[in-house]
């Protein structure tokens, strides 16, 4: 039963991530930089990482990216979101596992957002055969600070609450 | 929020501002500039700014999609696109060398490039 419960909870997390991704695409941003977005679904990956662990988090991240393509219908964006999700998940897992005494979840989330942007810009540069795309990176880093901060802040509250409720299912 | 977080935030702000400065610094020191339109990494068209091309629109139709580009007085923008998010249209004009408009779904890059002053010597006779 424990296994089934965990499975159901993970698929719920994937669907929450999907809903957040769709929702954030409806929110207009004051700045028009390609690739800049709120990254609300990163919250789901971070919470999964805290409660279940690295393996589950990367599964949720990859599943979310693949199913999101079915919703938005743009296959070209699969490469960007997949690379971003995988790299940010790995970086966040490393920071969360080894540097928890230095960084809180806010720091972990900022690391994740920076890694996500870096991966996306790199994939864009490779796909367009143009290294000048990296000139977007400084602005994207600044935006990822804001988004990473708020995602981290909300993840702290979510994971604090969920940890209490899901103590029996985790690990 | 721990001390490490604050240091991280300050560090990223400094790094991004410094690299932003480098990007902007690369934009000065050019005598002339031109628009380079690239599709899928290959140069599709090259337009040198002069009075004749002001107000001209250039349709770009490739297998990846359709974009309409307008050339202004030393600046350029995308006015129409068939991509879903229209980020390239919203971005507006770009004018200084090194700036670029990217349309990821259509694999289009509109870039302003500078022509460096030629310092090479054409010929030496002894």
Q: How far apart are CA A154 and CA A99, in angstroms?
A: 20
Tens of pLDDT, residues B69-115: 888 887 888 888 887 777 788 878 887 777 788 887 788 888 888 77
pLDDT of B117 over the 70 cut: no
- Examine the domain organization and report whether B10 and B50 are in the same domain: no
Q: What CATH number did the domain enclosing B65 receive? A: 2.60.320.10
Q: Which residue of B2, B16, B88 is in closest CB contact with A103?
A: B2
Which residue of chain A comes nearest to B19, CA vs CA? A138
Q: Is A36 helix (H, G, I), strand (E, B) or coil?
A: coil
Q: Which residue has the tokens 């499975």?
A: A7
| Total domain count, chain B | 2
Tell me the whole-structure pTM to 2 decimals. Answer: 0.79
Distance from CA of B54 to the nearest CA of A (A): 25
Q: Is residue B3 part of a domain?
A: yes
Residues in chain A: 171
Contact between B41 and A130 using a beta-carbon 8 Å cutoff: yes
Tokens of B82: 């068939």
Q: How far apart are CA A55 and CA A93, in angstroms?
A: 9
Q: Which residue has the tokens 């040198």?
A: B48
Q: How far apart are CA A168 and CA A5, in angstroms?
A: 10
Q: Is residue B122 part of a domain?
A: no
Tokens of A26: 């409806």
Tens of pLDDT, residues A90-110: 999 999 989 888 888 899 999
In chain A, where the domains are located? 2-165
The DSSP symbol for B116 reads P
Q: Which residue of A32, A110, A133 is in closest CB contact with B91?
A: A32
- Examine the domain organization and report whether B39 and B88 are in the same domain: yes
For A2-165, CATH gives 1.10.1760.20
Contact between A128 and B40 using a beta-carbon 8 Å cutoff: yes
Say what percent of chain A tops pLDDT 70.
94
* ipTM of the predicted assembly exceeds 0.90: no
pLDDT of A116 over the 70 cut: yes
Contact between B13 and A129 using a beta-carbon 8 Å cutoff: no
């Amino acid at each position: 039963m424990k296994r089934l419960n965990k499975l159901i909870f993970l698929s719920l997390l994937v669907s929450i991530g999907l809903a957040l991704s769709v929702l954030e695409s409806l929110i207009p941003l004051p700045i028009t930089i390609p690739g800049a977005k709120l990254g609300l679904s990163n919250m789901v990956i971070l919470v999964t990482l805290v409660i279940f662990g690295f393996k589950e988090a990367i599964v949720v991240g990859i599943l979310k990216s693949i199913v999101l393509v079915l919703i938005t219908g743009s296959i070209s964006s699969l490469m960007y979101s997949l690379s971003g999700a995988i790299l940010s998940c790995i970086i966040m897992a490393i920071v969360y596992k080894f540097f928890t005494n230095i960084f809180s979840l806010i720091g972990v989330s900022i690391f994740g957002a920076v890694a996500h942007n870096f991966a996306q810009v790199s994939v864009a540069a490779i796909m367009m055969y143009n290294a000048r795309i990296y000139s977007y990176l400084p602005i994207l880093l600044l935006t990822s600070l804001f988004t990473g901060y708020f995602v981290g802040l909300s993840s702290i509250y979510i994971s604090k609450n969920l940890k209490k409720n899901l103590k029996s299912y985790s690990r | 929020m721990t001390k490490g977080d604050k240091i991280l935030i300050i560090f990223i702000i400094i790094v991004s501002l410094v690299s932003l400065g480098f990007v902007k610094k690369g934009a000065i020191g050019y005598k002339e500039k031109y628009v380079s339109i690239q599709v899928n990494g290959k140069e599709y068209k090259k337009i040198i700014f002069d009075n004749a091309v002001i107000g001209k629109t250039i349709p770009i139709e490739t297998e990846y999609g359709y974009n309409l580009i307008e050339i202004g007085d030393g600046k350029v923008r995308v006015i129409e696109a068939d991509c879903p998010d229209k980020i390239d249209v919203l971005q507006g004009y770009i004018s200084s060398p090194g700036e670029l408009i990217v349309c990821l779904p259509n694999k289009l890059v509109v870039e302003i490039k500078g022509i460096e002053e030629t310092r090479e010597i054409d010929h030496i006779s002894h």
